[in-house]
Structure 1
Amino acid sequence: MDKCAIHYFSGTGNTHNMIMLLADELGRNGYEVHIINIEKENDRKLDNYKLHIFCYPIYGFGTPEIMLKYISKVRTPSNSNAAIVCTSAGFEGQSLFHIKRVLAKKGFEVILTDMVTYNYNWTQIFNPKTKEKQKEIFREAEVESRKIAKKLINNVTGFKNRNIMILAISWIIFIIFNKLGRKFLGRTYIADDSCINCSKCKNICPAEVIEIYKGKPKWNWKCESCQRCINMCPKKSIQLSIIKLTIYALFQLIPLFIIFNMDKKYGLSWILNIFLFCAMFGINSILANLLINIMERFSLTRKILQISYTKSYRRNVAKDFYISL
């Protein structure tokens, strides 16, 4: 009996749903499947598996940082095939191309890359689809997941390809998101007055970025933007703070305004413009963070920070994902 290892990360359960379908189909067809949740286990001996499947959601047109770190530490097994199957709302960006190259350099024979479409879970920005629409998407995703499993069973090879222009644009967006976007977005979360201090958000956070300060969660700068906390809060207490987002945005627009006027007046070189922008960006980020920290300490200003539009949003967590955590 061939052994298969499924290495996965799932933010709110879409990828978890997919890997359970893959495992079921592979198991029905003679594979011994071992599921490895990279949040809990990352030191399993891998040489005994003929096939490795790496599964994860797409964040910012790329691979989550937590998965990138895991793959970078995977010990290279001998004579092992690998498949990469991601989940997204419809576009995988540069991720499959990127991870295929990374795994190949580590000695894997990558035989398949593919994607399964699920409902988006970016509740921090967009209102998730209705329950009825989500059920429809999950039914379609099950069909696609089982098709991919059958490809693996029948040794069908294939790769999702993108043209150079799309890959280049995806890389740029992903780098900005991974290095800056997800971190700033994590700092724009806030728990409103319905928070019961249950600490669930802290306990389920895969990146361990949440601390409880004076009975309320507080996010640091290492957020994955997996959306697990906002979607799984039992009281729907976690929101996007419009005021926090506005403060960060305004503080970062100031350097652009200053540099534009200085360049117009003095004709600065592009190297000096970049240097000044980076310096002011860093300083203004610190100042914006300091202002927000001060506002969070006082009840009146904290009330102001709680202004949001996400309270009325639906939440999106895949069925049975609670049990897997």
Structure 2
Amino acid sequence: MKYNQLIIYYFSGTGNARNAASWIINVAKEKGLKTQLINIDRFESIEIPELTEKTLIGFCFPTHGFNMPPLVIKFIRNFPKLKNNDVFILNTRGGLKLSKLFIPGLSGLAQFLPALILRLKGFRIVGMQPLDLPSNWLILHPGLRKKVVDSIYQRCEAIVEKFALRILNGGKNYKAFLSLPFDIAVFPIAFGYYFFGRFFLAKTLLQPMHAIIAMYAF
């Protein structure tokens, strides 16, 4: 076994990313690795446990606007530089099923932006795995039936187990590149969504909030 420790940082909105991270942790425990599963929600400072070259670090998070959620962008951007440590990235994205056909979602920047940031910090990227867990874009499609959801979950758990075994044994997995042409197509949407939400919507929403606060201030 190449590694003796696995640390996964995760952020999860609906629980999908947490479930995926837990599946990987379970595989690592079965292999005898020391494991830590750390929720980065509301992190004020980044505390890094003691690391060795045999420590594998993972980041698991949902896709938001064809990108990482803003909290995850900030977390990875501020993550310390650690040379010669291996890292993997897993993003969950909206998957569907039509009859017996599983329909994948799109990652956009959600894989390649964190990979670039972490590579510039000195990490070795050993895994890039998108995971098509059940979509919750109810504005675009009706709710999925329980049978369909269960089927998608079973498939995804098998994919994650195979991915975990491969990288824990020292292999590499770059499944994110399979959808690269489609992800590149939505890069402009991802950039636009991020900057529109960050600079325009924030000001638009803050103005009425300030008015409400002023109205009730004594």
TM-score when scaled to structure 2?
0.77
Rounded Cα–Cα distance in structure 2 between residues aligned with 1:84 and 1:135: 24
Residue equivalent to 1:131? 146
Q: How does 1:176-195 map to 2 (within 5 A)?
A: 176-180=192-196
Deviations 1:59-107 (A, max 9, x none): 1221111100000111123431001111112221232122111100111
- Alignment-mate amino acid for residue 10 of structure 1: S
Q: Greater relative contact order: 1 or 2 (C-alpha under 8 angstroms, separation 6 or more)?
A: 2
C-alpha RMSD over aligned residues: 2.8
2:92 counterpart (79, 84, 87): 87
Rounded Cα–Cα distance in structure 2 between residues aligned with 1:97 and 1:15: 18
2:67 counterpart (62, 67, 71): 62
Size of the alignment, in residue pairs?
Answer: 194
- Alignment-mate amino acid for residue 43 of structure 1: I
Unpaired runs of at least 5, structure 1: 185-220, 223-281, 295-325
Rounded Cα–Cα distance in structure 1 between residues aligned with 2:36 and 2:9: 9
Rounded Cα–Cα distance in structure 2 between residues aligned with 1:73 and 1:166: 29
Residue equivalent to 2:79? 74
TM-score when scaled to structure 1?
0.53
In the alignment, does 2:186 pair up with 1:170?
Answer: yes
Structure 1 position 126, deviation (Å): 4.2
Residue equivalent to 2:166? 151
Residue equivalent to 1:48? 51
Structure 1 position 124, deviation (Å): 5.3
Query: What is the aligned-residue identity percentage?
Result: 23
8 Å contact from structure 2 (residues 83, 121) kept in 1 = no
Structure 1 position 169, deviation (Å): 2.6
- Alignment-mate amino acid for residue 12 of structure 1: T
The SS at the match of 2:65 is coil
8 Å contact from structure 1 (residues 8, 55) kept in 2 = yes
Deviations 1:196-237 (A, max 9, x none): xxxxxxxxxxxxxxxxxxxxxxxxx55xxxxxxxxxxxxxxx
- Alignment-mate amino acid for residue 129 of structure 2: D
Deviations 1:31-52 (A, max 9, x none): 1110110114442224415110
- Alignment-mate amino acid for residue 161 of structure 2: R
- Alignment-mate amino acid for residue 84 of structure 1: I
- Alignment-mate amino acid for residue 34 of structure 2: E
